[in-house]
Structure 1
Protein backbone atom coordinates (compact mmCIF):
# COMPACT_ATOMS: atom_id res chain seq x y z
CA UNK A 1 0.00 0.00 0.00
CA UNK A 2 1.68 3.20 -1.19
CA UNK A 3 1.56 6.40 0.83
CA UNK A 4 -1.12 8.83 -0.26
CA UNK A 5 0.19 12.12 -1.61
CA UNK A 6 -1.72 15.29 -2.48
CA UNK A 7 -0.95 18.58 -4.26
CA UNK A 8 -0.92 20.31 -0.88
CA UNK A 9 1.85 20.69 1.65
CA UNK A 10 3.37 22.57 4.58
CA UNK A 11 2.25 26.04 3.51
CA UNK A 12 -1.26 25.14 2.35
CA UNK A 13 -4.13 26.72 4.27
CA UNK A 14 -7.46 25.27 5.31
CA UNK A 15 -9.28 27.54 2.87
CA UNK A 16 -7.03 26.43 0.00
CA UNK A 17 -7.58 22.71 0.51
CA UNK A 18 -11.36 23.24 0.82
CA UNK A 19 -11.61 25.47 -2.25
CA UNK A 20 -14.20 24.25 -4.73
CA UNK A 21 -15.64 21.60 -2.40
CA UNK A 22 -19.40 21.74 -1.85
CA UNK A 23 -20.79 20.12 1.29
CA UNK A 24 -24.13 21.89 1.21
CA UNK A 25 -26.71 19.71 2.95
CA UNK A 26 -24.07 17.76 4.90
CA UNK A 27 -23.38 18.16 8.61
CA UNK A 28 -20.14 18.41 10.56
CA UNK A 29 -19.09 18.52 14.21
CA UNK A 30 -15.82 20.04 15.39
CA UNK A 31 -14.77 19.61 19.02
CA UNK A 32 -12.77 22.34 20.71
CA UNK A 33 -13.94 24.86 18.10
CA UNK A 34 -14.04 27.93 20.35
CA UNK A 35 -10.45 28.91 19.46
CA UNK A 36 -7.30 27.96 17.58
CA UNK A 37 -7.27 25.07 15.14
CA UNK A 38 -10.83 24.06 15.96
CA UNK A 39 -12.22 27.48 15.14
CA UNK A 40 -10.29 27.64 11.86
CA UNK A 41 -11.38 24.09 10.95
CA UNK A 42 -15.01 25.03 11.60
CA UNK A 43 -14.55 28.18 9.50
CA UNK A 44 -13.21 26.24 6.51
CA UNK A 45 -15.96 23.62 6.76
CA UNK A 46 -18.59 26.36 6.91
CA UNK A 47 -17.02 27.77 3.76
CA UNK A 48 -17.95 24.55 1.94
CA UNK A 49 -21.61 25.09 2.81
CA UNK A 50 -21.75 22.39 5.50
CA UNK A 51 -23.91 22.86 8.59
CA UNK A 52 -21.31 22.99 11.37
CA UNK A 53 -21.78 22.33 15.07
CA UNK A 54 -19.12 23.74 17.38
CA UNK A 55 -18.85 21.33 20.33
CA UNK A 56 -17.20 23.32 23.12
CA UNK A 57 -16.74 23.64 26.87
CA UNK A 58 -17.11 27.43 26.78
CA UNK A 59 -20.43 28.02 25.04
CA UNK A 60 -20.14 31.81 25.14
CA UNK A 61 -16.76 31.68 23.41
CA UNK A 62 -18.17 29.20 20.90
CA UNK A 63 -21.07 31.51 20.11
CA UNK A 64 -18.69 34.40 19.46
CA UNK A 65 -16.71 32.24 17.04
CA UNK A 66 -19.87 30.99 15.32
CA UNK A 67 -21.12 34.56 14.86
CA UNK A 68 -17.81 35.58 13.33
CA UNK A 69 -17.77 32.56 10.99
CA UNK A 70 -21.33 33.27 9.85
CA UNK A 71 -20.47 36.91 9.14
CA UNK A 72 -17.36 36.04 7.14
CA UNK A 73 -18.63 33.01 5.21
CA UNK A 74 -22.29 33.92 4.80
CA UNK A 75 -23.18 30.44 6.09
CA UNK A 76 -25.85 30.72 8.77
CA UNK A 77 -25.99 26.96 9.39
CA UNK A 78 -23.85 27.13 12.51
CA UNK A 79 -24.74 25.93 15.99
CA UNK A 80 -22.96 25.67 19.33
CA UNK A 81 -23.38 22.81 21.81
CA UNK A 82 -21.79 22.20 25.21
CA UNK A 83 -19.29 19.34 25.42
CA UNK A 84 -16.85 18.52 28.22
CA UNK A 85 -14.82 15.50 27.16
CA UNK A 86 -13.74 14.70 30.74
CA UNK A 87 -17.38 14.47 31.85
CA UNK A 88 -19.01 11.35 30.43
CA UNK A 89 -22.46 12.69 31.33
CA UNK A 90 -21.74 15.69 29.08
CA UNK A 91 -20.60 13.41 26.25
CA UNK A 92 -23.72 11.27 26.60
CA UNK A 93 -25.95 14.36 26.63
CA UNK A 94 -24.37 15.57 23.40
CA UNK A 95 -24.76 12.25 21.59
CA UNK A 96 -28.30 11.73 22.90
CA UNK A 97 -29.36 15.14 21.61
CA UNK A 98 -27.95 14.58 18.12
CA UNK A 99 -30.55 13.79 15.47
CA UNK A 100 -30.05 12.81 11.86
CA UNK A 101 -26.96 11.82 9.88
CA UNK A 102 -23.47 13.19 10.44
CA UNK A 103 -20.99 13.49 7.58
CA UNK A 104 -17.82 14.73 9.31
CA UNK A 105 -16.66 14.47 12.92
CA UNK A 106 -13.42 16.30 13.71
CA UNK A 107 -12.02 15.20 17.06
CA UNK A 108 -9.89 18.29 17.54
CA UNK A 109 -10.09 19.26 21.22
CA UNK A 110 -7.18 18.39 23.45
CA UNK A 111 -4.80 19.23 26.26
CA UNK A 112 -1.01 19.14 26.25
CA UNK A 113 1.51 18.41 29.00
CA UNK A 114 -0.81 19.56 31.76
CA UNK A 115 -0.05 19.14 35.48
CA UNK A 116 -0.98 15.82 37.07
CA UNK A 117 -4.74 15.55 37.33
CA UNK A 118 -7.38 12.80 37.28
CA UNK A 119 -11.06 12.51 36.46
CA UNK A 120 -13.65 11.41 38.99
CA UNK A 121 -13.26 7.91 37.57
CA UNK A 122 -9.51 7.99 38.28
CA UNK A 123 -8.42 8.36 34.68
CA UNK A 124 -5.31 10.40 33.88
CA UNK A 125 -6.45 13.78 32.52
CA UNK A 126 -4.72 13.81 29.14
CA UNK A 127 -5.70 10.24 28.27
CA UNK A 128 -9.25 10.99 29.40
CA UNK A 129 -9.53 14.22 27.40
CA UNK A 130 -7.59 13.43 24.25
CA UNK A 131 -8.69 9.82 23.83
CA UNK A 132 -11.42 8.46 26.09
CA UNK A 133 -13.78 11.42 25.74
CA UNK A 134 -13.47 11.37 21.98
CA UNK A 135 -13.81 7.59 21.93
CA UNK A 136 -17.10 7.84 23.84
CA UNK A 137 -18.27 10.69 21.60
CA UNK A 138 -17.52 8.87 18.37
CA UNK A 139 -19.05 5.60 19.54
CA UNK A 140 -22.14 7.54 20.65
CA UNK A 141 -22.40 9.14 17.21
CA UNK A 142 -21.75 5.90 15.32
CA UNK A 143 -25.38 5.58 14.25
CA UNK A 144 -25.39 9.12 12.87
CA UNK A 145 -22.13 8.54 11.02
CA UNK A 146 -23.43 5.26 9.57
CA UNK A 147 -26.64 6.97 8.47
CA UNK A 148 -24.65 9.38 6.31
CA UNK A 149 -23.38 6.46 4.24
CA UNK A 150 -19.98 7.99 3.53
CA UNK A 151 -18.86 9.61 6.77
CA UNK A 152 -15.40 10.66 7.86
CA UNK A 153 -13.81 10.91 11.29
CA UNK A 154 -10.75 13.14 11.63
CA UNK A 155 -8.55 12.70 14.71
CA UNK A 156 -6.02 15.37 15.64
CA UNK A 157 -2.95 13.61 17.01
CA UNK A 158 0.64 14.89 17.26
CA UNK A 159 4.23 13.94 16.58
CA UNK A 160 4.29 13.81 20.38
CA UNK A 161 2.90 10.28 20.02
CA UNK A 162 6.52 9.21 19.39
CA UNK A 163 7.25 9.97 23.06
CA UNK A 164 5.28 6.99 24.34
CA UNK A 165 3.35 3.92 23.25
CA UNK A 166 0.34 2.81 25.29
CA UNK A 167 1.73 1.59 28.60
CA UNK A 168 -0.92 -1.07 29.02
CA UNK A 169 -0.15 -1.95 32.64
CA UNK A 170 -0.03 1.64 33.89
CA UNK A 171 -2.07 3.98 31.71
CA UNK A 172 -3.01 6.15 34.70
CA UNK A 173 0.49 6.48 36.20
CA UNK A 174 -0.49 4.55 39.29
CA UNK A 175 2.98 2.99 39.67
CA UNK A 176 5.36 5.33 37.83
CA UNK A 177 6.03 9.01 38.47
CA UNK A 178 3.75 11.23 36.45
CA UNK A 179 5.46 12.75 33.43
CA UNK A 180 3.36 15.27 31.49
CA UNK A 181 5.08 14.54 28.18
CA UNK A 182 4.84 10.76 28.48
CA UNK A 183 1.16 11.14 29.36
CA UNK A 184 0.66 13.41 26.35
CA UNK A 185 2.52 11.01 24.08
CA UNK A 186 0.46 8.05 25.24
CA UNK A 187 -2.80 9.92 24.61
CA UNK A 188 -1.68 10.94 21.12
CA UNK A 189 -0.70 7.34 20.31
CA UNK A 190 -4.21 6.39 21.37
CA UNK A 191 -5.61 8.90 18.87
CA UNK A 192 -3.82 7.19 15.96
CA UNK A 193 -4.76 3.69 17.11
CA UNK A 194 -8.39 4.76 17.37
CA UNK A 195 -8.41 5.84 13.72
CA UNK A 196 -6.91 2.50 12.69
CA UNK A 197 -9.50 0.39 14.51
CA UNK A 198 -12.51 2.60 13.75
CA UNK A 199 -11.77 2.25 10.04
CA UNK A 200 -11.47 -1.54 10.31
CA UNK A 201 -14.45 -1.99 12.57
CA UNK A 202 -16.83 0.30 10.70
CA UNK A 203 -15.83 -0.47 7.13
CA UNK A 204 -19.25 -1.98 6.50
CA UNK A 205 -20.82 1.37 7.36
CA UNK A 206 -18.54 3.24 4.93
CA UNK A 207 -17.01 5.21 7.80
CA UNK A 208 -13.34 6.08 7.50
CA UNK A 209 -11.08 7.62 10.14
CA UNK A 210 -7.67 9.18 9.77
CA UNK A 211 -5.26 10.84 12.21
CA UNK A 212 -2.92 13.75 11.68
CA UNK A 213 -0.20 15.97 13.00
CA UNK A 214 -1.28 19.59 12.39
CA UNK A 215 2.22 21.03 12.77
CA UNK A 216 3.80 23.43 15.21
CA UNK A 217 1.30 26.21 15.89
CA UNK A 218 1.09 28.52 18.88
CA UNK A 219 -2.43 28.23 20.31
CA UNK A 220 -4.07 27.83 23.73
CA UNK A 221 -2.94 24.20 23.63
CA UNK A 222 0.51 25.32 24.79
CA UNK A 223 -0.74 27.14 27.90
CA UNK A 224 1.06 24.65 30.18
CA UNK A 225 4.32 24.76 28.25
CA UNK A 226 5.13 28.45 27.95
CA UNK A 227 4.08 28.42 24.31
CA UNK A 228 6.99 26.31 23.14
CA UNK A 229 5.72 22.75 23.21
CA UNK A 230 8.18 20.07 24.31
CA UNK A 231 11.18 21.94 22.93
CA UNK A 232 12.18 24.81 20.72
CA UNK A 233 10.88 24.47 17.20
CA UNK A 234 12.81 26.17 14.41
CA UNK A 235 11.08 29.37 13.33
CA UNK A 236 10.72 28.17 9.74
CA UNK A 237 8.67 25.17 10.96
CA UNK A 238 6.06 27.27 12.76
CA UNK A 239 2.69 27.38 11.00
CA UNK A 240 -0.12 29.88 11.13
CA UNK A 241 -3.45 28.65 12.47
CA UNK A 242 -4.77 28.71 8.90
CA UNK A 243 -1.94 26.41 7.80
CA UNK A 244 -2.27 24.23 10.89
CA UNK A 245 -5.93 23.46 10.16
CA UNK A 246 -5.22 22.49 6.55
CA UNK A 247 -4.55 18.79 7.14
CA UNK A 248 -7.69 18.38 9.26
CA UNK A 249 -9.80 20.03 6.56
CA UNK A 250 -8.14 17.98 3.83
CA UNK A 251 -8.99 14.73 5.60
CA UNK A 252 -12.54 15.96 6.22
CA UNK A 253 -13.33 17.14 2.70
CA UNK A 254 -10.97 16.10 -0.08
CA UNK A 255 -12.14 13.66 -2.78
CA UNK A 256 -8.57 12.29 -2.66
CA UNK A 257 -9.43 10.73 0.71
CA UNK A 258 -12.51 8.91 -0.57
CA UNK A 259 -12.51 5.45 1.02
CA UNK A 260 -9.13 6.03 2.68
CA UNK A 261 -8.82 5.33 6.40
CA UNK A 262 -6.58 4.17 9.20
CA UNK A 263 -3.68 6.37 8.15
CA UNK A 264 -1.62 9.23 9.60
CA UNK A 265 -0.91 12.49 7.81
CA UNK A 266 1.53 15.39 8.21
CA UNK A 267 1.52 18.53 6.04
CA UNK A 268 -1.45 17.23 4.02
CA UNK A 269 0.32 14.01 3.01
CA UNK A 270 0.61 10.54 4.48
CA UNK A 271 3.89 10.15 6.38
CA UNK A 272 6.31 7.24 6.74
CA UNK A 273 6.14 4.55 9.41
CA UNK A 274 9.23 4.74 11.66
CA UNK A 275 10.82 2.35 14.13
CA UNK A 276 12.80 4.98 16.02
CA UNK A 277 11.87 8.47 17.14
CA UNK A 278 12.26 10.53 13.98
CA UNK A 279 13.59 13.75 15.52
CA UNK A 280 11.31 15.67 13.14
CA UNK A 281 7.63 16.50 12.97
CA UNK A 282 7.17 13.70 10.43
CA UNK A 283 6.86 9.94 10.88
CA UNK A 284 4.35 7.71 12.62
CA UNK A 285 5.60 5.12 15.10
CA UNK A 286 4.92 1.55 14.06
CA UNK A 287 3.25 0.85 17.41
CA UNK A 288 0.73 3.62 16.69
CA UNK A 289 -0.58 1.97 13.52
CA UNK A 290 -0.31 -1.64 14.69
CA UNK A 291 -3.71 -3.32 14.17
CA UNK A 292 -3.32 -5.59 17.20
CA UNK A 293 -2.62 -2.60 19.43
CA UNK A 294 -5.59 -0.83 17.90
CA UNK A 295 -7.98 -3.69 18.68
CA UNK A 296 -6.57 -3.99 22.20
CA UNK A 297 -7.06 -0.28 22.87
CA UNK A 298 -10.64 -0.36 21.60
CA UNK A 299 -11.53 -3.19 23.98
CA UNK A 300 -9.73 -1.52 26.87
CA UNK A 301 -11.46 1.80 26.18
CA UNK A 302 -14.87 0.13 26.30
CA UNK A 303 -13.94 -1.47 29.61
CA UNK A 304 -12.73 1.82 31.09
CA UNK A 305 -15.96 3.54 30.08
CA UNK A 306 -18.28 0.74 31.19
Structure 2
Protein backbone atom coordinates (compact mmCIF):
# COMPACT_ATOMS: atom_id res chain seq x y z
CA UNK A 1 0.00 0.00 0.00
CA UNK A 2 1.22 3.51 -0.79
CA UNK A 3 0.48 6.28 1.69
CA UNK A 4 0.94 10.02 1.09
CA UNK A 5 4.31 11.25 2.31
CA UNK A 6 5.36 14.14 4.51
CA UNK A 7 8.70 15.52 5.64
CA UNK A 8 10.19 15.44 9.12
CA UNK A 9 13.55 17.15 8.81
CA UNK A 10 15.75 14.91 6.64
CA UNK A 11 13.19 12.10 6.60
CA UNK A 12 10.38 11.39 4.16
CA UNK A 13 7.72 9.49 6.13
CA UNK A 14 4.20 8.22 5.75
CA UNK A 15 1.68 11.02 6.41
CA UNK A 16 0.23 8.87 9.21
CA UNK A 17 2.64 7.09 11.53
CA UNK A 18 2.15 4.52 14.27
CA UNK A 19 2.32 5.36 17.95
CA UNK A 20 3.48 2.09 19.51
CA UNK A 21 2.82 2.91 23.18
CA UNK A 22 -0.41 1.04 23.68
CA UNK A 23 1.06 -2.24 22.46
CA UNK A 24 2.83 -2.36 25.85
CA UNK A 25 1.40 0.31 28.11
CA UNK A 26 -1.27 2.77 29.14
CA UNK A 27 -4.77 1.51 28.32
CA UNK A 28 -5.01 -1.76 30.22
CA UNK A 29 -3.18 -4.33 32.29
CA UNK A 30 0.35 -4.68 30.89
CA UNK A 31 0.88 -6.08 28.38
CA UNK A 32 -2.50 -5.22 26.80
CA UNK A 33 -1.92 -7.63 23.90
CA UNK A 34 0.07 -10.82 23.49
CA UNK A 35 3.50 -10.53 21.90
CA UNK A 36 2.40 -12.44 18.82
CA UNK A 37 -0.52 -10.07 18.26
CA UNK A 38 1.70 -7.03 18.77
CA UNK A 39 4.20 -8.40 16.26
CA UNK A 40 1.47 -8.99 13.71
CA UNK A 41 0.15 -5.45 14.11
CA UNK A 42 3.60 -3.91 13.63
CA UNK A 43 4.17 -5.92 10.47
CA UNK A 44 0.67 -5.11 9.21
CA UNK A 45 1.49 -1.42 9.69
CA UNK A 46 4.72 -1.87 7.74
CA UNK A 47 2.95 -3.73 4.93
CA UNK A 48 0.28 -1.01 4.83
CA UNK A 49 2.88 1.63 4.07
CA UNK A 50 3.64 3.10 7.49
CA UNK A 51 7.28 4.14 7.71
CA UNK A 52 7.19 6.25 10.92
CA UNK A 53 7.25 4.22 14.15
CA UNK A 54 7.26 5.97 17.53
CA UNK A 55 8.23 4.42 20.86
CA UNK A 56 9.87 5.56 24.13
CA UNK A 57 11.98 4.32 27.01
CA UNK A 58 8.98 4.84 29.29
CA UNK A 59 6.55 2.56 27.48
CA UNK A 60 6.39 -0.69 29.41
CA UNK A 61 9.63 0.45 31.08
CA UNK A 62 11.58 -0.58 28.00
CA UNK A 63 9.40 -3.46 26.85
CA UNK A 64 7.96 -1.46 23.95
CA UNK A 65 11.39 -0.54 22.59
CA UNK A 66 12.45 -4.18 22.86
CA UNK A 67 9.35 -5.29 20.95
CA UNK A 68 9.65 -2.63 18.25
CA UNK A 69 13.37 -3.22 17.85
CA UNK A 70 13.06 -6.98 17.54
CA UNK A 71 10.18 -6.97 15.07
CA UNK A 72 11.35 -4.13 12.85
CA UNK A 73 15.12 -4.75 12.89
CA UNK A 74 15.00 -6.76 9.61
CA UNK A 75 13.25 -3.76 8.02
CA UNK A 76 15.41 -1.05 9.62
CA UNK A 77 16.32 0.66 6.34
CA UNK A 78 12.65 1.03 5.37
CA UNK A 79 11.54 2.96 8.45
CA UNK A 80 12.11 6.13 10.43
CA UNK A 81 12.59 4.97 14.01
CA UNK A 82 11.69 7.42 16.79
CA UNK A 83 12.12 7.12 20.54
CA UNK A 84 12.12 9.34 23.60
CA UNK A 85 14.10 9.68 26.82
CA UNK A 86 14.46 11.91 29.83
CA UNK A 87 11.45 10.11 31.31
CA UNK A 88 11.95 6.42 31.96
CA UNK A 89 11.54 3.60 34.43
CA UNK A 90 14.27 3.73 37.05
CA UNK A 91 14.81 1.70 40.26
CA UNK A 92 13.67 3.71 43.26
CA UNK A 93 13.96 2.90 46.96
CA UNK A 94 15.23 -0.17 48.78
CA UNK A 95 13.21 -2.63 46.76
CA UNK A 96 14.52 -1.24 43.52
CA UNK A 97 11.12 -1.42 41.81
CA UNK A 98 10.96 0.56 38.59
CA UNK A 99 9.11 3.85 38.78
CA UNK A 100 8.51 6.63 36.29
CA UNK A 101 11.26 9.23 36.72
CA UNK A 102 11.74 12.52 34.84
CA UNK A 103 15.45 13.28 34.66
CA UNK A 104 16.89 15.72 32.14
CA UNK A 105 20.45 15.87 33.47
CA UNK A 106 23.03 15.25 30.75
CA UNK A 107 24.19 12.01 32.35
CA UNK A 108 20.59 10.75 32.48
CA UNK A 109 20.00 11.65 28.83
CA UNK A 110 23.13 9.71 27.85
CA UNK A 111 22.08 6.75 30.01
CA UNK A 112 18.63 6.69 28.40
CA UNK A 113 20.00 6.89 24.86
CA UNK A 114 22.48 4.08 25.41
CA UNK A 115 19.79 1.87 26.95
CA UNK A 116 17.36 2.63 24.11
CA UNK A 117 19.96 1.80 21.46
CA UNK A 118 20.53 -1.56 23.10
CA UNK A 119 16.82 -2.39 23.41
CA UNK A 120 16.07 -1.24 19.87
CA UNK A 121 18.97 -3.27 18.48
CA UNK A 122 20.26 -0.39 16.38
CA UNK A 123 23.35 1.80 16.20
CA UNK A 124 21.40 5.01 15.66
CA UNK A 125 17.94 6.38 16.46
CA UNK A 126 16.54 8.46 13.62
CA UNK A 127 14.53 10.96 15.69
CA UNK A 128 15.04 11.21 19.44
CA UNK A 129 12.83 13.36 21.64
CA UNK A 130 13.23 14.74 25.13
CA UNK A 131 10.06 13.14 26.49
CA UNK A 132 9.54 15.76 29.16
CA UNK A 133 11.48 18.89 30.00
CA UNK A 134 12.86 18.38 33.51
CA UNK A 135 12.23 21.89 34.76
CA UNK A 136 14.98 21.69 37.39
CA UNK A 137 17.49 21.36 34.53
CA UNK A 138 17.93 24.11 31.93
CA UNK A 139 16.59 22.95 28.58
CA UNK A 140 19.94 24.02 27.10
CA UNK A 141 21.73 21.39 29.21
CA UNK A 142 19.45 18.53 28.16
CA UNK A 143 19.46 19.48 24.48
CA UNK A 144 23.19 20.12 24.59
CA UNK A 145 23.79 16.50 25.61
CA UNK A 146 21.41 15.30 22.90
CA UNK A 147 23.43 17.33 20.40
CA UNK A 148 26.65 15.69 21.60
CA UNK A 149 25.07 12.26 21.14
CA UNK A 150 23.99 13.36 17.68
CA UNK A 151 27.56 14.41 16.87
CA UNK A 152 28.71 10.97 17.98
CA UNK A 153 26.38 9.40 15.41
CA UNK A 154 23.95 7.86 17.90
CA UNK A 155 21.03 10.15 17.00
CA UNK A 156 20.17 11.51 13.56
CA UNK A 157 17.71 14.25 14.55
CA UNK A 158 16.41 15.85 17.75
CA UNK A 159 12.92 16.55 19.04
CA UNK A 160 11.02 17.76 22.09
CA UNK A 161 7.71 16.66 23.58
CA UNK A 162 5.04 18.72 25.37
CA UNK A 163 6.93 22.03 25.33
CA UNK A 164 5.94 25.64 24.85
CA UNK A 165 7.02 27.87 21.99
CA UNK A 166 9.37 29.70 24.35
CA UNK A 167 11.14 26.51 25.40
CA UNK A 168 11.29 25.38 21.78
CA UNK A 169 13.05 28.62 20.81
CA UNK A 170 15.57 28.19 23.64
CA UNK A 171 16.29 24.61 22.62
CA UNK A 172 16.55 25.42 18.93
CA UNK A 173 19.18 28.04 19.72
CA UNK A 174 21.37 25.22 21.08
CA UNK A 175 20.80 22.65 18.34
CA UNK A 176 18.35 22.30 15.44
CA UNK A 177 15.03 20.85 16.62
CA UNK A 178 13.52 18.69 13.88
CA UNK A 179 10.15 17.93 15.50
CA UNK A 180 7.87 18.65 18.41
CA UNK A 181 5.58 15.89 19.62
CA UNK A 182 2.54 16.86 21.67
CA UNK A 183 -1.11 16.01 22.00
CA UNK A 184 -3.19 17.58 19.25
CA UNK A 185 -6.72 16.81 18.14
CA UNK A 186 -10.07 18.50 17.80
CA UNK A 187 -10.46 17.82 21.52
CA UNK A 188 -7.04 19.23 22.50
CA UNK A 189 -6.09 22.30 20.49
CA UNK A 190 -3.48 23.84 22.80
CA UNK A 191 -0.85 23.53 20.06
CA UNK A 192 -2.68 26.22 18.11
CA UNK A 193 -1.80 28.86 20.72
CA UNK A 194 1.85 29.16 19.70
CA UNK A 195 3.79 25.93 19.12
CA UNK A 196 2.38 25.10 15.69
CA UNK A 197 3.38 28.51 14.39
CA UNK A 198 6.82 28.28 15.99
CA UNK A 199 7.37 24.85 14.41
CA UNK A 200 6.48 26.31 11.04
CA UNK A 201 8.82 29.27 11.62
CA UNK A 202 11.86 27.11 12.39
CA UNK A 203 11.02 24.39 9.86
CA UNK A 204 10.17 21.70 12.42
CA UNK A 205 7.47 19.10 12.00
CA UNK A 206 4.66 18.72 14.53
CA UNK A 207 3.96 15.09 15.44
CA UNK A 208 0.49 14.77 16.94
CA UNK A 209 -0.06 12.07 19.54
CA UNK A 210 -3.53 11.04 20.74
CA UNK A 211 -5.01 12.35 17.47
CA UNK A 212 -8.32 10.60 18.07
CA UNK A 213 -8.40 11.85 21.69
CA UNK A 214 -7.71 8.51 23.38
CA UNK A 215 -10.79 7.01 21.61
CA UNK A 216 -13.19 9.88 22.33
CA UNK A 217 -13.22 11.00 18.69
CA UNK A 218 -13.90 7.48 17.43
CA UNK A 219 -17.42 7.73 18.83
CA UNK A 220 -17.13 4.24 20.28
CA UNK A 221 -16.15 5.12 23.86
CA UNK A 222 -19.27 5.66 25.92
CA UNK A 223 -18.79 3.98 29.30
CA UNK A 224 -15.64 5.27 30.98
CA UNK A 225 -16.54 3.51 34.22
CA UNK A 226 -15.45 0.21 32.60
CA UNK A 227 -11.80 1.22 32.23
CA UNK A 228 -9.22 -1.29 33.43
CA UNK A 229 -7.73 -0.40 36.81
CA UNK A 230 -4.39 0.41 35.15
CA UNK A 231 -5.86 2.52 32.35
CA UNK A 232 -4.13 5.92 32.47
CA UNK A 233 -7.36 7.66 31.47
CA UNK A 234 -8.69 6.99 34.97
CA UNK A 235 -6.41 9.78 36.21
CA UNK A 236 -7.37 12.23 33.45
CA UNK A 237 -10.06 14.73 34.48
CA UNK A 238 -11.75 14.71 31.07
CA UNK A 239 -12.53 11.03 31.49
CA UNK A 240 -14.14 11.35 34.93
CA UNK A 241 -17.70 10.02 34.40
CA UNK A 242 -19.59 13.28 34.95
CA UNK A 243 -17.12 15.34 32.93
CA UNK A 244 -17.04 12.83 30.12
CA UNK A 245 -20.82 12.79 29.98
CA UNK A 246 -20.76 16.56 29.46
CA UNK A 247 -18.32 16.10 26.56
CA UNK A 248 -20.39 13.36 24.93
CA UNK A 249 -22.98 15.89 23.77
CA UNK A 250 -20.53 17.05 21.09
CA UNK A 251 -20.41 13.63 19.48
CA UNK A 252 -23.90 13.68 17.98
CA UNK A 253 -23.23 16.68 15.71
CA UNK A 254 -19.71 15.32 15.13
CA UNK A 255 -21.13 11.99 13.90
CA UNK A 256 -23.41 13.89 11.53
CA UNK A 257 -20.41 15.71 10.06
CA UNK A 258 -18.59 12.40 9.57
CA UNK A 259 -21.60 11.02 7.73
CA UNK A 260 -21.70 14.15 5.58
CA UNK A 261 -17.97 13.71 4.80
CA UNK A 262 -18.44 10.03 3.96
CA UNK A 263 -15.95 8.66 6.48
CA UNK A 264 -15.78 7.18 9.96
CA UNK A 265 -15.44 9.40 13.01
CA UNK A 266 -11.83 8.30 13.59
CA UNK A 267 -11.02 9.07 9.95
CA UNK A 268 -12.63 12.49 10.30
CA UNK A 269 -10.42 13.33 13.27
CA UNK A 270 -7.26 12.28 11.43
CA UNK A 271 -8.24 13.96 8.15
CA UNK A 272 -8.87 17.21 10.05
CA UNK A 273 -5.35 17.05 11.48
CA UNK A 274 -3.79 16.36 8.09
CA UNK A 275 -5.63 19.41 6.74
CA UNK A 276 -4.11 21.72 9.37
CA UNK A 277 -0.70 21.87 7.69
CA UNK A 278 1.83 19.87 5.72
CA UNK A 279 4.19 19.89 8.71
CA UNK A 280 1.72 17.94 10.86
CA UNK A 281 2.04 14.14 11.14
CA UNK A 282 -0.45 12.25 13.37
CA UNK A 283 0.63 9.03 15.07
CA UNK A 284 -2.50 7.17 16.18
CA UNK A 285 -1.93 4.03 18.20
CA UNK A 286 -4.01 0.88 18.29
CA UNK A 287 -3.91 -2.79 19.21
CA UNK A 288 -6.67 -3.64 16.71
CA UNK A 289 -5.78 -4.51 13.09
CA UNK A 290 -9.18 -3.29 11.85
CA UNK A 291 -8.69 0.05 13.57
CA UNK A 292 -5.23 0.33 12.00
CA UNK A 293 -6.70 -0.10 8.52
CA UNK A 294 -9.47 2.36 9.35
CA UNK A 295 -6.98 4.97 10.56
CA UNK A 296 -4.91 4.72 7.40
CA UNK A 297 -8.02 5.24 5.33
CA UNK A 298 -8.02 8.82 6.60
CA UNK A 299 -5.11 9.58 4.28
CA UNK A 300 -7.49 9.53 1.30
CA UNK A 301 -10.25 11.62 2.92
CA UNK A 302 -10.48 15.12 1.51
CA UNK A 303 -12.46 17.53 3.67
CA UNK A 304 -14.20 20.50 2.12
CA UNK A 305 -13.72 24.02 3.52
CA UNK A 306 -17.31 23.84 4.76
CA UNK A 307 -16.66 20.65 6.76
CA UNK A 308 -13.44 22.08 8.20
CA UNK A 309 -15.33 25.20 9.28
CA UNK A 310 -18.05 23.09 10.92
CA UNK A 311 -15.47 21.11 12.90
CA UNK A 312 -13.63 24.25 13.94
CA UNK A 313 -16.85 25.80 15.22
CA UNK A 314 -18.01 22.64 17.01
CA UNK A 315 -14.80 21.99 18.95
CA UNK A 316 -13.89 25.44 20.22
CA UNK A 317 -11.61 25.01 23.28
CA UNK A 318 -13.96 26.83 25.64
CA UNK A 319 -16.69 24.20 25.22
CA UNK A 320 -14.47 21.26 26.21
CA UNK A 321 -14.97 20.13 29.80
CA UNK A 322 -11.95 19.21 31.92
CA UNK A 323 -8.19 19.67 31.53
CA UNK A 324 -6.05 17.11 29.72
CA UNK A 325 -4.09 16.09 32.82
CA UNK A 326 -4.48 16.05 36.57
CA UNK A 327 -2.57 18.61 38.62
CA UNK A 328 0.54 16.45 39.06
CA UNK A 329 0.91 15.58 35.38
CA UNK A 330 0.01 19.12 34.32
CA UNK A 331 2.93 20.41 36.40
CA UNK A 332 5.26 18.11 34.44
CA UNK A 333 4.47 19.56 31.01
CA UNK A 334 5.31 22.91 29.49
CA UNK A 335 2.60 23.43 26.89
CA UNK A 336 0.53 26.61 26.72
CA UNK A 337 -3.05 26.68 28.00
CA UNK A 338 -5.93 28.74 26.72
CA UNK A 339 -6.43 31.71 29.09
CA UNK A 340 -9.86 32.28 30.50
CA UNK A 341 -11.39 28.99 29.40
CA UNK A 342 -13.96 27.77 31.86
CA UNK A 343 -13.14 24.10 31.58
CA UNK A 344 -9.35 24.03 31.24
CA UNK A 345 -9.36 22.97 27.58
Q: Which has the larger radius of gyration?
A: 2
Is TM (by shorter chain) over 0.5?
Answer: no
Q: Taking structure 1 as the reference length, what is the TM-score of the superposition? A: 0.38
Structure with the bigger RCO (C-alpha within 8 Å, sep 6+) is 1
